[in-house]
Amino acid sequence: MLIDVRDILKFGGLTKRVELSLSAEECGIGDTDCVFKEPVQVSAELTNINGIIRAKGFVRTGYETFCARCLKPVYCSIEKPFDEEYVGAGSLRGTRSDEAEVYEYSDKEIDISLAARDAVLLEIPIRHLCGEDCKSLCPVCGKDLNEGDCDCELRPADARFEVLKDYYL
């Protein structure tokens, strides 16, 4: 989502607020394992700091995914602040190369979805659990052990399997 910043590029110190609602695709997060149930709300203040556009604000959204142990749906809400800088295209070369979180802008527009995307992706954990105490599925019969025990006998091999499952998922 491109934001025209010609107005605040006139003078250093000028600011403007942006309030946007992006779809997961517009935000560049459409290819994750999460199903975004809400648009990505972006609220930011853009400030011209001598030609560098500082974008400070937060993203908010909600998504559904699955518990890594019992596969039940898990719903997560995200509200994540961000504080990023956009520098004019070409002005980065040779300088500030140690700066990891800097985006380039060109044609007097910044792509606010870059900052929003990275803020959301940073906030999504590698795996989700429906609860820290999720008992998982029985590796023998597949019963959801959160709903009660089954009659399967867990042999040592199964216990090892559980450890591996925790490790890989």
Instruction: Give contact residues for Zn ion (rule: CB under 5 A).
Output: 67, 69-70, 130, 134, 138, 140-141, 143, 150, 152
- Nearest approach, Cβ of 122 to Zn ion (angstroms)? 24
Nearest to Zn ion of 69, 117 (CB atom): 69
CB of 98 or CB of 151, closer to Zn ion: 151
| CB of 100 or CB of 163, closer to Zn ion | 163
Q: What's the CA gap between 84 and 42, in Å, rounded?
A: 13
CB 160, min distance to Zn ion, A? 16
Are 43 and 58 in contact by the 8 Å Cβ rule? The answer is: yes
Q: Which residues pair with 82 in a beta bridge?
A: 57
In the complex, the smallest distance separating the C-beta of residue 75 from Zn ion, rounded to whole angstroms, is 13
Q: CA-to-CA distance for 82 and 120, rounded, in angstroms?
A: 10
Report the phi/psi class of residue 36: left, alpha or beta, with left for phi > 0 and alpha for psi in -120 to 50: beta
